Amino acid sequence: MENTKLKNQHERLYYIDWLRVLAFGLLFIFHSARFFDDYGWHVKNDEHSMLANILVGFTHGWRMHLIFFISGVGTYFALKSRNGAFIKDRFTRLIVPYLFGVVLLVPPQKYYEFLYNNWFTGRFLEFIKGYPMGLMEHHPGISLEWTGHLGLHIWYLAFLFVMTLAYLPLVKAIAKPNFLRKSLTFFSRNFIGLFVFILPVILTEAWLRPTHGDYLSWADFFQYSMFFLVGYFFMVFDNYRSLVKKYTYLFLVLGAASSWYIFTHSLEINQGETMMTSIIHAGIRITSSYSWVLFFFGLSQRKLNFYHKHLSSLNNGILPFYILHQTVIILIGFYIVSFDLSILFKFLIILSTSLVSTILLYQAIKRNNVLRFVFGMKTPLKKKIS
């Protein structure tokens, strides 16, 4: 009877695995398009594309929010399975690959960025000699901005580790019959209750963003924290998941409407705005991100709750794919953007070749226990000889 219950629960949650795969898979498309938008990046194509602007601008409003939401879901299951070894597991799964990436995978990205901008013209080994000192030319101070300054795209790993430690007492507290648990249970009874989570982050955003507006500042940390916690809470309280599934397409309407408003209006949050204006702007932006995350979560419940023989393998490869993908994309894109080809053709070449290259690298990683360890994968148990 118990095994049947566990089996049913496992089948019911396949959609979470699919959502995780798709959310991280989106990063390949997102970063392959970064060569062609109007925003600053490591390497750029001479010609830019309005479609790239739309793709990057639209997904930037919710892609990392969705990933942190999924990370909150994953934290729920990790706490249940790891118990006493949870913090050790988080360190080996997040900080070890982060440090590995900082040392070996980030420098090539910076090298090609320097080549593209004509800031450096020598060979890679010559660049590496001055790279550590070059990092100190820009000093973010006591801030989580260091996670991106040192790790570029893998800042997420360090953010998630800090977030996990910071909120561990809170997520453990809801396991007890206290005021917090009773409050969350109460709010899970109706649609309006889903929006109580965004009120604190709207106020925090309006308060912090004017003075901490840089990328990966404390304002970003607290914004992503809300999505992380919501992901965790949704696993604890079934009613929240049921509400999101029920109102999936309403979140689509809210997301589309708020995104359109953001695209057609200037919603900056800076020191020149009044507090009320900042709260309104923050409210629209956070509502947009939140609505898209809940739409995709609800849609996955409706459409993706099924098993596939490759689903487990896809999930196992997510972390190495995430850690590798931007380095591979920049290395390939640096050469492709110099070709005399259309933007669409360049984009497709970068996307396809980087994906295939990452798959080939992953095949080597998963077969070596040392590489598995530094890429945050579980080391397979040695087979017992019978």
pLDDT digits (tens, 9 = 90+) for 221-259: 999 999 999 999 999 999 999 999 999 999 999 999 999
Cα separation, 245 vs 296, in Å, equals 10
Q: Which of 157-171, 206-220, 251-265, 311-325 bottoms out in mean pLDDT, i.e. has the lowest?
A: 206-220
Residue 115: domain span: 61-307
Q: Name the domain count of the chain.
A: 1
In this predicted structure, what is the pLDDT of residue 269? 74
Cα separation, 16 vs 312, in Å, equals 12
Q: Is residue 105 part of a domain?
A: yes
At 372 the three-state DSSP class reads helix
How much is the average pLDDT of 50-67? 96
Do residues 240 and 300 touch, judged by C-beta distance below 8 A? no
In this predicted structure, what is the pLDDT of residue 142? 75
Tens-digit pLDDT profile for residues 362-384: 999 999 999 999 999 987 756 55
Tens-digit pLDDT profile for residues 130-179: 998 888 777 777 788 999 999 999 999 999 999 999 999 999 888 888 88
Q: Is residue 185 part of a domain?
A: yes
Cα separation, 110 vs 72, in Å, equals 31
Q: Is residue 312 part of a domain?
A: no
Integer CA distances (angstroms), 262 to 66, 257, 276, in order: 19, 9, 17
Q: Structure pTM?
A: 0.93
- Whether 272 has a pLDDT exceeding 90, the answer reads no
In this predicted structure, what is the pLDDT of residue 88? 92
Cα separation, 357 vs 328, in Å, equals 7
Q: Is residue 5 part of a domain?
A: no
Q: What percent of the chain has pLDDT over 90?
A: 76
Q: Is residue 316 part of a domain?
A: no
Report CA dihedral (324, 330, 335, 340) to the nearest 10 degrees: 120
In this predicted structure, what is the pLDDT of residue 2? 38
Q: Is residue 175 part of a domain?
A: yes
Of 47, 23, 41, 40, residue with least CA distance to 347? 47
Q: Is residue 3 part of a domain?
A: no
Q: Is residue 38 part of a domain?
A: no
Say how many residues make up the chain.
Answer: 386
Neighbours of 196 (CB within 10 A): 13
Of 329, 289, 300, 345, residue with least CA distance to 58? 289
